[in-house]
Structure 1
Amino acid sequence: MSHATQHRNDEDLLTADVRNAADRKALLPPLMPELGVFVALFALAATSVLVAFWSAFGGLAILACLAIAVVMAALVMIFFMHLRSAMAVMTLASLAGVVWLAILFGLTMADYLTRPGEIGSSIQTPRQAETEAEAAN
């Protein structure tokens, strides 16, 4: 085998190795953004638990937890559902789902707020139910 043929074979092998590495890189997207979002989701979940058990917020704790849940849902939709690189139709369909969910929550709250009595008065703990049952007897 001549020196020119050996040199051409070496170049072909090197080109094939570079091509295979590029193909593997194209198949496996970089994981750093997803890992960062994963860590952020865990941090937000821990924050939500702390806010829920911390009595300093009082009645605003549920609003803070809902706001954290909205941020978490947005992160999942943008990064794990790949909506930042999706076609416009996919983005529109996912936003339509979010709008429909907001409509359903709004209708549920409208029904709940039109019921007679103080808000939340129909919710009883088991101990309160026992006490009322004993008082009625």
Structure 2
Amino acid sequence: MSLPKTPQRTGRAPDAERQHADRRALLPPLMPELGVFVALFALAATSVLVAFWSALGGLAILACLAIAVVMAALVMIFFMHLRSAMAVMTLAGLAGVVWLAILFGLTMADYLTRPGNLGATMQTPAQAESEAEAAN
């Protein structure tokens, strides 16, 4: 005949153990968030390097935009918790992205359909200063 096992005592009251367990259940594991945080910093550094790398030329803008899209997706999936959200919340997050794309598209349509050569009238401060000195 064996004796019944007695529960292990940790020196805390049962209510304190329950509260401690509840606190542990409420805190999410930090490793995925820290990994995404490091990835966002790495992507930001890559974006800066690509922007100053002259070998890409006009493709640098597209590369930086692609990096920005990946960064935005990481933020939405992990930090906004859309990965584990209800379908309605995911749909609302995606609707925000679609609306932003519509606004960017309308802005570009307005910019591209204006008459004249818009980029030719832009001056840097150094160019404006040299023109002002030449006029005097």
* TM-score past 0.5 threshold: yes
Structure-2 residue corresponding to 1:56: 55
Give unpaired runs (5+ residues) of structure 2. none
Instruction: Provide the rounded CA distance (Å) in 2 between the counterparts of 1:74 and 1:63.
Output: 16
Instruction: Provide the rounded CA distance (Å) in 2 between the counterparts of 1:47 and 1:123.
Output: 28
Please report how far the alpha carbon of residue 19 of structure 1 lies from its aligned counterpart in structure 2 after TM superposition.
5.1
Question: Deviation string for 1:83-137 (max 9, x for gaps)?
Answer: 0111111111111111110011011111111123346223221122233444556
**Corresponding pairs, count:** 130
Please report how far the alpha carbon of residue 28 of structure 1 lies from its aligned counterpart in structure 2 after TM superposition.
1.2
User: What RMSD over aligned residues (CA atoms) do the two structures have, in Å?
Assistant: 2.6
Instruction: Provide the rounded CA distance (Å) in 2 between the counterparts of 1:37 and 1:71.
Output: 11
TM-score, length of structure 1 as denominator length: 0.80
Query: Could you tell me the percent identity over the aligned residues?
Result: 82
Structure-1 residue corresponding to 2:90: 91
Please report how far the alpha carbon of residue 11 of structure 1 lies from its aligned counterpart in structure 2 after TM superposition.
1.7
Instruction: Provide the rounded CA distance (Å) in 1 between the counterparts of 2:116 and 2:56.
Output: 25
Q: Is the 8 A contact 1:113 1:119 kept in 2?
A: no
Greater helix share, structure number: 1
Change (3 A) 1:25 1:36: same
Q: 1:11 aligns with which of 7, 10, 21?
A: 7
Q: 2:83 is paired with a residue of what secondary structure?
A: helix
Greater displacement, 42-51 / 106-115 = 106-115
Give unpaired runs (5+ residues) of structure 1. none
Question: Deviation string for 1:13-42 (max 9, x for gaps)?
Answer: 46x487555433311111111111000000
